[in-house]
Amino acid sequence: MRSSLDGRRARRVAAALALPLALTLSALPALAEPSPSPGEVVPDRQSTTAQNGVALMRIVVPDQADVDRLNAMGVDLAEYKKPLDNGIEVHAVLSPEEAQSLRDQGFDVQGAISDQTDYAENQVERSQAMRSAAAATAETDTLTPLRAEWFTSLDDQRFLSVEVKSSATDAQTVLTVTWDSGPGTAPDSGGTAAMSRFTDAGQYMYHRFNSPLSVTQAPTTVTVTSNRGGSVTIPVTKWLGAARKAPGKHYVADFVDHYMDPTEVTDRISSLAREFPKISEIVDLPYKTNGYRRAAQAQFGTVAASTFYVSSKAYGHEGGNDISVALTKPEAASSALGVTVTGKDVVVALATDASGAVTSTARQVVDALNGDAAASALLAAGTYRGNAGTGQVAAAPATRLTDNLKAPATVSREPFQMKALRVGKRRDGSKAGVFLYCQEHAREWVTPLTCVETAERLLRNYARDADTRKLVDDLDIFIVPTVNPDGAHYSFYDYNMQRRNMTNHCAVNLADPAARNSWGVDLNRNFSVGSIFDGYSGASTSCTSDTFAGPSELSEPEAKNEVWLTEKYPNIKFAMNTHSYGGYFMWPPGAYKAAGRELLPRVDYGTESFFWSASSHILSAVQTWRGTAIWPGRTGPVPDVLYSAAGNSADEHWYNKGIIGWDFEVGADVYNPETKRFQAVGFQPAFTEGHEEAMEFSAGQIAILEVARAFSSDKNAPKSELKVTAQTAGSTSFTFTIDEPANVYYTLDGSRPTLSSPKLTAAGMREGAQQITIDATTEVHWFAADIAGNIEKNYKPDGNGKNYNKARVVVGDAR
């Protein structure tokens, strides 16, 4: 299922982008989708309501003559034609049989643009939208302010960010913001702008700007008006820039000067542990990866029906690369198909007919190779992507198989030993643990630098800087600079856009060499909480999808290692999962079920408040390096600001272990004052930019350690107050204010409050505390508990004491 129309489009674009590479490798139609299995009976195109697999497909043809040919064949072409570097792209509505028939005729039929699933989804979206439009009455809407903030970013440019939710959720609701230009100025003197309606999974979320607005003066208030009559004026607060103690004059930083592959970063943390044995050590993670290694392969043929490929049984570096295969045409007429193996050289003598012409088909050659004892000890053969292989094979000179791996010999081809660097003065489990991990996604090259820089700063400043010493003395820090070493080696040396690990879970019909950049498991979708296997959105079960969740939860050693670390060291209470790019700061929940956008349970009000207050500290630290502000609109629970990510690791750590987990996306968009636009930085920016990102987000990781240390040493109990917020003749509303992030447990029936009593909740997504409304005078009893476990007035919720808070909330004329 998709999370949004944009998500659907992005996935399709990604699928399309993967194809030209495969084409250059194989000069063959590269198929994005597996074909129906041979012999499977699929009804041909019928009515639109039956799920016959009819889909709108892309076809790439060399020139106009082929477009005309398709047209003459009666193919159901769309009114679309796009010139490409290598030909012309047209779109056609095809059943699976029609698509296969075109492929068999040599047409390059690619992935689906839309299919019956989209049709069903569109119908659901349509009826949802019509229901909510009906619900939106002509009455005045109510506007709920969520956030209004100004901030500076890079070169002191000022920006304004506003989020407001309308009670009218339909698409015809238009919100407009005006703002002043500082204290004492007219309310509209700063400017005016329309807001964008933010929807996800077909549901209205709130209105915002797509990117923050550049402003000349910091506004004091904004006024938002709706075309449905609603209006609200909101004070504007400053986002980030919290005063932060400058590092001491002996503090040292900046230890990375080039992008590093996983072998280099792992060597670096190992040498750090040797250099600082009193305050650090290496923890070997128990599950070795599959390794930067592959079977050796070769492919023969130019069109699908006459093409086959072979894969070595041994990995390339273990002898697979030494195998060769030749296809010879015998001089004699009427000779039989035969296979000869000499050492590692395989020769297939093709069959000929009475006239001496070759008659062997791809299928026959495949069967002969797989049926020969000596050949099948060396290799396995297959037809091209499930093709029946009825085309005749041509003779070919001896071709050496290759694993296609290009990393230098310094990169081991063996299973990789993943390592964590453990930093702390007392590493006995008595100190609060923090788990910093980077590069779950291979192509995110800046992220391991961030983890390495943080390790260097902690160890090299221990003897020089009192603040660093407090962190190392009071915490137990685990740093894994690369969670995906095999995939990252592949990204460095073979295919730079590799996101997943290197393990091929595809069946034989997608295991040909041209498919090799489409294999692997998305490690941040392989975890066991809110996974695709549990019905959550934002991952794939297709082995060639870039968000492939793997064959099952926690199938991959890299993911198992993360879980192992949190189980082995239960003192770990905080985690940071560092990715790139976009400049985000996020926390759980991280996934929802698309139907009804059913989220994993939101964290409670006290924890959410803790996340927000920690944001201010952590993101202000990021900002100190070069002024980068992470936007308010890119801060918050994952699905509120990005998209659903089924089976991600932060959810695993939070829901299974209670570990407070964040996600960074390093690489905030950079504002260009000349074009007045934000520009995305990408996965692998020039190192000068990548270096800056590593420096600023290492400062953010250090700030997370400061938050963890403050949490672990927090002995202060929270203080709370009851505040009446609204009164009418028949009812009174109240809420609680607390002097730090904490939960309030309360009773309305005069009983003693306990940890099982109702908890104060948030009024809604990105909103403040709920209002509790009563219609009769009530004795309210309550206490606050912070997330470090300190309880107001040292009240014992499970005891008998009466030292909780009490207030009488009066309704109407009882006053």
CB 234 within 8 A of CB 244: no
- How many other β-carbons are positioned within 10 Å of the β-carbon of residue 392? 17
Shortest Cβ 412–Zn ion spacing (Å): 24
Shortest Cβ 444–Zn ion spacing (Å): 5
Cβ nearer to Zn ion, comparing 91 with 441:
441
Shortest Cβ 791–Zn ion spacing (Å): 39
Cβ nearer to Zn ion, comparing 607 with 698:
698
Indicate the pairing of strand 475-480 with strand 419-423.
antiparallel
Q: What is the CA radius of gyration of the chain?
A: 31
Binding mask 196-235 for Zn ion (x = CB under 5 A): ----------------------------------------
Question: Which of these segments, 186-194, 559-567, 578-586, 735-743, binds Zn ion (CB under 5 A)?
Answer: 578-586
Shortest Cβ 439–Zn ion spacing (Å): 8
Please state whether the peptide bond connecting residue 490 to the residue before it is cis, i.e. omega within 30 degrees of 0: no
Cβ nearer to Zn ion, comparing 649 with 698:
649
**In this structure, what token pair is assigned to residue 237?**
């607060």
Cβ nearer to Zn ion, comparing 297 with 648:
648
Shortest Cβ 273–Zn ion spacing (Å): 27
Shortest Cβ 303–Zn ion spacing (Å): 38
Shortest Cβ 441–Zn ion spacing (Å): 3
The amino acid sitting at 451 is C
Q: How many CA atoms lie within 13 A of 512 on its CB side?
A: 27
Q: Angle at CA 460, nearest 5°, toward 457 and 465?
A: 85
Shortest Cβ 549–Zn ion spacing (Å): 14
Regarding 294 and contact with Zn ion (CB under 5 A), the answer is no
**In this structure, what token pair is assigned to residue 367?**
């069967």
CA 21/CA 469 separation, integer angstroms: 51
Number of residues that bind Zn ion (CB under 5 A): 2
Cβ nearer to Zn ion, comparing 585 with 746:
585
Q: How many residues in total does the chain contain?
A: 815
Shortest Cβ 664–Zn ion spacing (Å): 10
What are the φ and ψ backbone dihedral angles of 770, each rounded to 5 degrees? -65, 160
Q: How far is CA 370 from the centre of its chain?
A: 41
Binding mask 530-569 for Zn ion (x = CB under 5 A): ----------------------------------------
Cβ nearer to Zn ion, comparing 441 with 489:
441
Cβ nearer to Zn ion, comparing 207 with 579:
579
**In this structure, what token pair is assigned to residue 683?**
């996965």
Shortest Cβ 667–Zn ion spacing (Å): 11
Question: Which of these segments, 214-222, 360-368, 572-580, 792-800, binds Zn ion (CB under 5 A)?
Answer: 572-580
Cβ nearer to Zn ion, comparing 103 with 579:
579
Q: Which residues contact 65 (CB under 8 A, 6 or more apart)?
A: none
Say how many Å lie between the first and final Cα of the chain, rounded. Answer: 56
Cβ nearer to Zn ion, comparing 98 with 440:
440
- Binding to Zn ion, residues 428-487 (CB under 5 A): 441
Binding mask 628-657 for Zn ion (x = CB under 5 A): ------------------------------
CA 419/CA 271 separation, integer angstroms: 12
Distances (CA, A) of 541 to 72, 249, 526, 550, 734: 37, 53, 11, 7, 48
Shortest Cβ 447–Zn ion spacing (Å): 8
Q: Which of 579, 634, 691, 766 lies at the binding interface for Zn ion (CB under 5 A)? A: 579
User: For residue 686, with 0-12 CB atoms within 10 Å meaning exposed, 13-18 middle and 19 or more buried, which class applies?
Assistant: exposed
Q: Which residues contact 9 (CB under 8 A, 6 or more apart)?
A: none
Question: Which of these segments, 183-191, 575-583, 683-691, 807-815, binds Zn ion (CB under 5 A)?
Answer: 575-583
Cβ nearer to Zn ion, comparing 58 with 579:
579
CB 809 within 8 A of CB 722: yes
Cβ nearer to Zn ion, comparing 573 with 579:
579
CB 541 within 8 A of CB 547: no
Point out which residues pair with 299 in neighbouring strands: 309
**Which residues of the shown chain bind Zn ion in the complex (CB under 5 A)?**
441, 579
